[in-house]
Amino acid sequence: MIPLVDMHCHLLAGLDDGPRSQADAVQMCKDMVAEGVQMAAALAHQNEHYPDVTPERIRTAVRELTGALAEAEVPLTVFPTAEVMANPDIEGMWRQGALLSVADRKKYLLVEMPHGLFVDLCHTVTQFRQEGVSVILAHPERSAELLHDEGRIEQLVRLGCLVQVSSGSVTKPRDRRDASALKSWFRRGIVHLLGSDGHSPNRRPPRMAAAYRQIVTWAGNAVADRVGSTNGLAVLHGLPFHAPEPQPRRMRWLARFW
């Protein structure tokens, strides 16, 4: 299997609702390596619930985790990242340097919807694009407004938004309707990146391999390799990558034969 890249994993002990200790974080990293993961966005939430989580605290925590991984001889490379909650002042916070970009390279910003709320992010995506930053929308499949209205997610993608889906949504969709919609996203080229959204060694472990295999079944090896590996590699190194235009939606009756 191609080396996997986990684009969304809470690995910074004590910073948010992720691992409680460095030992737990190192155990999660060992489990990730066993899953075939070689690189990961090691992130913490930046939102009103965690006002003390600053870019500098995340950078420091990732330096400490990198040291612990070297000591334990765990071959996982971790990149400092924030999961930023969308808010009306997000552009102002960015300009003030209050938000940490993916891998601290100022090219990509990982943004999640406010919990339990759907907000239109078209303006945000466009504004960031004008500043040379691509918004990556974290687990948009959780939002029924996006998952079951492909026009909305397609509009965001066409504006330059990248889409990161959680591995658990692939392996354990809520129902058949969700599974069918997500399968369509992968087949149409709506999804760019995969992340485990791991939080702990046991309760919310960082799983990637089963989702990769499911994506192979749904959309083929080429899609699974891009989403599970090479796109993430580019993003973590601040490089552009070619995201093909989303393919047109299939008619419902045609989809049965496809």
| Residue for token pair 């004590």 | 14
| Residues 80-99, interacting with Fe ion (CB under 5 A) | 83
Stretch of residues binding Fe ion (CB under 5 A), selected from 18-26, 52-60, 88-96, 195-203: 195-203
Q: Candidates 27-35, 76-84, 116-124, 143-151 — which segment interacts with Fe ion by CB under 5 A?
A: 76-84
Nearest distance in Å: CB 109, Fe ion: 14
Q: Nearest approach, Cβ of 125 to Fe ion (angstroms)?
A: 19
197 binds Fe ion (CB under 5 A): yes
Q: Tell the residue number behind the tokens 């684009």, with chain if given.
A: 7
For the CB of residue 138, give the shortest distance to Fe ion in the complex, in Å: 6
- Binding segment toward Fe ion, per CB under 5 A, in 63-71, 115-123, 193-201, 226-234: 193-201
User: Which among 193, 174, 144, 202 is positioned nearest to 7, based on CA atoms?
Assistant: 193
4-10 and 77-85 beta bridge pairing: unpaired
CA 36, CA 238: separation in Å to the nearest integer?
22
Number of shown-chain residues binding Fe ion (CB under 5 A) = 2
Tokens of 7: 């684009």
Q: Find the helix or strand (DSSP H, E) in which 217 lies.
A: helix 209-219
DSSP H or E segment with residue 10: strand 4-10
The yes or no reply on residue 6 touching Fe ion (CB under 5 A) is: no
Binding site for Fe ion (CB under 5 A): 83, 197
